[in-house]
């Protein structure tokens, strides 16, 4: 029987595996994809220091480190169920069952869709799909496209597409409908963008963001937001234009763009047809906790963390003995935080298996490292992430009293 | 195939010389590179449609590209529902797209609903003839 | 304008969801049972947040702590053969 089965070979899973292997635990890491690294593989962005965060490089390093310790990494394998047995967990995959003393669910996040009419056409893809095609497979997703949904993630990926020589018309909001939520609301989108404006290369935005912080200034800025959008790296970003519909018979041929008021209301008669052959939809990320549910793990809804998260504490323990979580499944944050969380999970699992206090110091240090990494983050997916985290830990305390 | 590839990238560098892999998609032979998924190899050829929706017959391609949505499911070497976005291509692989399926039990149709498999076969033949 | 498909797997449109939710004043779970939204091949992974939003907008039901659409194994489609059946 394995000491631990780790589901997900992303930064959290690989970091946890490395810690466990360093202390000679019997570890198996499982991932559905044929390469390890998870969503790290597609990441590519410039840090404020000027250095490039190269996800492929990071993933390769983490994988080599795990492999150097003879970690059993099984790629191209899917887990469809985890079952609690008398004194073990049965991890059911499409190629057999693996019994384990403990499991670490590090399955990351999934993308929330921002549906608009015509989004099922070939050529429409999630923004994450474009990232993977571009940086992992080095395939151009199309000749000319448009990004629907303006947020931290979509802006970063739009930049990645440009770097790869893929032509983008612009970024715009999705037109407001029942399911679109905040991402169709110009004011709410602007509020979120102002928090990352310090990263913008455009002096206008950097300068403007200092003043934009005050709500009334944001309001005025939105009223006078240029019709041609604010250009970032030569690409217009529209907060007063939205995509109402995607057109085409068998694949994407064009989109219908409309003007919108500061509250998102469509200006009648403002339709414009933009010819594109691909559309990227960006609705945000939500934690993918599905494998924790069949185990009976309780969840808590935290908007700051992106949705429903399995209840856990700072040690990455869930209320179920022997079941751990780490990475984006615990809440949407960066790969760096996921990596540090993976280490915490590793030490927690180690302490549990060895039934000793030998790793308490390392565990404490790893938890501190998570906090530090979070504090130093240049981009925060949500401004109140600390509150979200705290509330989840409190839920854990309440349940395990 | 190369115009749709990002050969040179300012940060990721030049694409290394890759081994070519040949596979079949709906009866035609295509070339991809080792390490390509079925979806990426086809997209490099400008092919976006990977499947027809089982009920409506509408064309579908990748959506999430990371194995979550299953929109890219294809039949590979006779095994159905394989995700094109996760599956690496190998030489001689035979890939087929899923087609629209019959809906003999649909309440909207004018034909009487078949109650046995035999009746379904007749129903199907009638449909073929009336096309 | 085209219909807005919410559940891609089962091609359930917003119109169908709205009409059903209003007619029966139901929870997310009941909406799924009536329309098949969230019960398709992807296990609700793509549309779960959207279906939730529709229900919230119509019924005013706030997101609860439980996952809105109950997650049952298998969370990945699996053939009987791989589950341990005999040669197919």
| Residues B94, B43 within the same domain | yes
SS3 label, residue A260: strand
Which chains share 3+ C-beta pairs under 8 angstroms with B? A, C
Question: Residue A55: pLDDT above 80?
Answer: yes
Whether residues B115 and B69 share a domain: the answer is no
pLDDT value at position A4? 98
Which of A93, A110, A301, A310 would best serve as a mutation to test chain C binding (most C beta carbons within 10 A)?
A301
pLDDT for position A379: 64
A123: left (phi over 0), alpha (psi -120 to 50) or beta: left
Residue B42 pLDDT exceeds 90: yes
Q: What is the CATH number of the domain that holds B44?
A: 3.10.20.440
Element (H, E) at A188: helix A186-194
Beta carbons of A122 and B61 less than 8 Å apart: yes
Residue A235: predicted pLDDT: 84
Query: Which residues does residue A370 pair with via DSSP β-bridges, in sequence order?
Result: none
Q: Give the model's confidence band at A203: pLDDT under 50 very low, under 70 low, under 90 confident, else very high.
A: very low
B16 and B79 in a single domain? The answer is yes
In the DSSP assignment, the letter for residue A265 is P
Q: Please name the member of A32, A126, A163 whose beta carbon is closest to the beta carbon of B9.
A: A163
Predicted pLDDT at C68: 60
CA distance linking residue B3 with residue B11, whole number of Å:
19
Please check whether residue A257 is in contact with residue A271, taking contact to mean a CB–CB distance below 8 angstroms. yes
Residues A11-18 have a mean pLDDT of 98
ipTM over 0.95: no
Are B24 and B61 members of one domain?
A: yes
How sure is the predictor about A204, in pLDDT bands with cuts at 50, 70 and 90? very low
Task: Determine phi and psi for B53, rounding to 5 degrees.
Answer: -60, 135
B35 shares its domain with B49: yes
Give the orientation angle of helix C14-24 with respect to helix C48-59, to 10 degrees.
40
Q: Provide the percentage of residues in chain A whose pLDDT is more than 90.
A: 67
pLDDT band at B1 (very low <50, low <70, confident <90, very high): low
Higher pLDDT pick, A385 / A279: A279
User: Is C8 an interface residue toward B (CB < 8 Å)?
Assistant: yes
Instruction: Taking each helix axis as running N to C, give the angle between helix A360-375 and helix A335-354, from 0 to 180 degrees, rounded to the nearest 10.
Output: 170
Which tokens sit at A241?
A: 């234009």
Per residue in A380-398, pLDDT tens?
Answer: 667 778 888 888 999 888 8
Same domain (yes/no): B38, B15: yes
Residues A143-195: tens digit of each pLDDT: 999 999 998 888 889 989 998 999 999 999 999 987 888 889 988 888 777 66
Cα three-residue angle C69-C73-C79, rounded to 5 degrees: 125
| pLDDT band, very low/low/confident/very high, at A239 (cuts 50, 70, 90) | confident
What total number of domains does chain B contain? 2
Residues B70 and B42 in one domain: yes
Same structural domain for residues B52 and B29?
yes
* Chain C residues whose beta carbon lies within 8 Å of the beta carbon of residue A79: 75-76
Residue pLDDT, tens place only, A285-336: 999 999 999 999 999 999 889 889 999 999 999 999 999 999 999 999 989 9
Query: Are B110 and B96 part of one and the same domain?
Result: no
Report DSSP letters for chain B, one per residue: -GGGB--EETTTEEPPP--EEEEEETTEEEEEETT-BHHHHHHTTT----EE-TTT--EE--SSSSSSS-TTEEEETTEEEEETTTPBP-TT-EEE-B-PPP-TT-TT-SSPPP-SHHHHHHHHHHHHHH-
Q: Hey, of A74, A139, A162, A278, which one would you mutate to test binding to chain B, going by the most B CBs within 10 A of its CB?
A: A139
Mean pLDDT over all residues of chain A? 90
Q: Which residue has the higher pLDDT, C26 or A289?
A: A289
pLDDT, position B3: 67
**% pLDDT > 70, chain B:** 98
Question: Residue A10: pLDDT above 90?
Answer: yes
CB contact under 8 A, A120 and B10: no
Residues of A with a Cβ under 8 Å from any C Cβ are 78-81, 83, 92, 94-95, 110, 112-113, 115-120, 177-179, 181, 244-245, 283, 286, 288-291, 293-294, 298-301, 307-308
Range name among A218-227, A228-237, A240-249, B110-119 with the lowest pLDDT average: A218-227
Residues B40 and B88 in one domain: yes
Assign residue C28 a region (left: φ > 0; alpha: ψ between -120 and 50; beta: otherwise): alpha
* Band of residue B89 on the pLDDT scale cut at 50, 70, 90: very high
SS3 state of residue A134: helix
Number of Cβ pairs < 8 A linking chain B and chain C: 26
- Same structural domain for residues B87 and B26? yes
* A365-377 pLDDT per residue, tens: 999 999 999 888 7
Spatial CB neighbours of A273, under 8 Å, sequence gap ≥ 6? A247, A254, A255, A256, A257
* Measured distance CA(A241)–CA(A282) in Å, rounded: 15
Which chain A residues touch C67 with a CB distance below 8 Å?
A: 289, 293, 299, 308
Q: What percent of chain A has pLDDT over 70?
A: 91
The token duo for A237 is: 């970003």
Tell me, yes or no, if B113 comes closer than 8 A to chain C by beta carbon: no
Give me the DSSP letters along A81-132: EEEEETTEEEEEETTEEEEEEEEEE---EEEPP---TTTTSTTEEEHHHHHI
Range of the domain at B35: 2-100
CA dihedral sign of residues B43, B46, B52, B56: positive
Residues B128, B69 share a domain: no
Q: Which residues of B touch A139 (CB under 8 A)?
A: 4-6, 36, 40, 43-44
The pLDDT, as a whole number, for residue A212 is 52
Closest CA to A384 of A304, A321, A326: A304
Question: Can you tell me the distance from the alpha carbon of B36 to that of B40, in angstroms, rounded to the nearest whole number?
Answer: 6
Residue C66 clears pLDDT 80, i.e. is over it: no
Q: Does B100 touch chain C (CB under 8 A)?
A: no
Is the CB of C73 less than 8 angstroms away from the CB of A80? yes
Query: What are the distances in angstroms from CA A19 to CA A258, A315, A340, A366, C70?
Result: 52, 14, 11, 11, 34
**Contact between residue C48 and residue C69 where contact means Cβ atoms under 8 Å apart:** yes
Helix (H, G, I), strand (E, B) or coil at A198: helix
């Amino acid at each position: 029987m394995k000491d631990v089965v780790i589901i997900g070979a992303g930064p959290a899973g690989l970091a946890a595996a490395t810690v466990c292997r360093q202390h000679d635990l019997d570890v198996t890491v499982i991932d559905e994809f044929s390469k390890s690294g998870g969503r790290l593989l597609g990441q590519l962005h410039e840090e404020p220091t000027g250095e490039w965060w190269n996800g492929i490089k990071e993933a390769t390093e983490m994988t080599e480190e795990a492999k150097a310790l003879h970690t059993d990494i099984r790629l191209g394998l899917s887990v469809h169920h985890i079952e609690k047995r008398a004194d073990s967990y049965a991890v059911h995959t499409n190629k057999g069952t693996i019994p384990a003393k403990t499991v670490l669910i590090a399955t990351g996040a999934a993308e929330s869709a921002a549906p608009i009419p015509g989004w099922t056409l070939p050529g429409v893809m999630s923004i994450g799909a474009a990232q993977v095609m571009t940086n992992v497979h080095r395939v151009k997703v199309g000749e000319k496209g448009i990004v629907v949904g303006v947020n931290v993630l979509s802006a970063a990926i739009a930049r990645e597409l440009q770097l790869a020589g893929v032509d983008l018309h612009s970024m715009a909001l999705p037109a407001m409908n029942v399911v679109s939520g905040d991402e169709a609301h110009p004011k709410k989108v602007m509020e979120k963008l102002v928090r990352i404006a310090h990263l913008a290369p455009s002096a206008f935005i950097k300068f403007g963001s200092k003043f934009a912080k005050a709500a009334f200034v944001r309001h005025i800025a939105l009223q006078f937001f240029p019709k041609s959008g604010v250009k970032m790296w030569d690409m217009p970003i529209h907060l007063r234009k939205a995509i109402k519909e995607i057109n085409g018979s068998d694949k994407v041929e064009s989109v219908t763009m409309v003007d919108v008021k500061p509250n998102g209301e469509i200006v009648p008669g403002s339709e414009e047809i933009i010819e594109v052959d691909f559309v990227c939809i960006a609705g945000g990320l939500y934690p993918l906790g599905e494998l924790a549910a069949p185990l009976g793990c309780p969840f808590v809804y935290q908007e700051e963390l992106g949705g429903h998260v399995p209840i856990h504490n700072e040690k990455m323990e869930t209320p179920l003995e022997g079941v751990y979580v780490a990475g984006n499944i615990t809440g949407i944050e960066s790969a760096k935080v996921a990596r540090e969380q993976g280490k915490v999970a590793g030490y927690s699992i180690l302490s549990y298996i060895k039934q000793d206090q030998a790793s308490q110091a390392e565990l404490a240090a790893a938890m501190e490292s998570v906090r530090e990494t979070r504090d130093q983050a240049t981009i925060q997916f949500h401004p109140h992430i600390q509150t979200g985290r705290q509330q989840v830990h409190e839920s854990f305390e309440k349940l395990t009293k | 195939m190369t115009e749709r590839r990002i050969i040179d990238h300012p940060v990721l560098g030049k694409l290394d010389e890759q081994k070519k892999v040949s596979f079949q998609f709906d009866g035609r032979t295509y070339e991809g590179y080792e390490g390509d998924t079925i979806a990426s190899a086809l997209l490099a050829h400008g092919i976006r449609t990977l499947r027809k929706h089982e009920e409506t017959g509408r064309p579908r391609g990748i959506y999430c590209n990371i194995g979550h949505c299953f929109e890219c499911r294809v039949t590979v070497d006779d095994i159905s529902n394989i995700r094109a976005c996760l599956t690496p291509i190998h030489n001689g692989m035979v890939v087929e797209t899923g087609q629209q399926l019959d809906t003999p039990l649909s309440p909207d149709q004018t034909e009487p609903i078949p109650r046995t498999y035999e009746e379904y076969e007749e129903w199907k033949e009638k449909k073929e003839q009336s096309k | 304008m085209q219909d807005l498909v919410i559940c891609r797997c089962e091609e359930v449109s917003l119109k169908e969801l709205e009409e059903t939710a209003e007619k029966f004043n139901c929870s997310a779970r009941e909406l799924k049972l009536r329309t098949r939204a969230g019960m398709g091949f992807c296990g609700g992974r793509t549309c779960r947040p959207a279906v939730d939003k529709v229900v919230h907008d119509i019924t005013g039901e706030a997101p609860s702590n439980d996952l809105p659409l109950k997650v049952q194994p298998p969370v990945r489609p699996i053939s009987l053969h791989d589950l341990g059946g005999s040669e197919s």
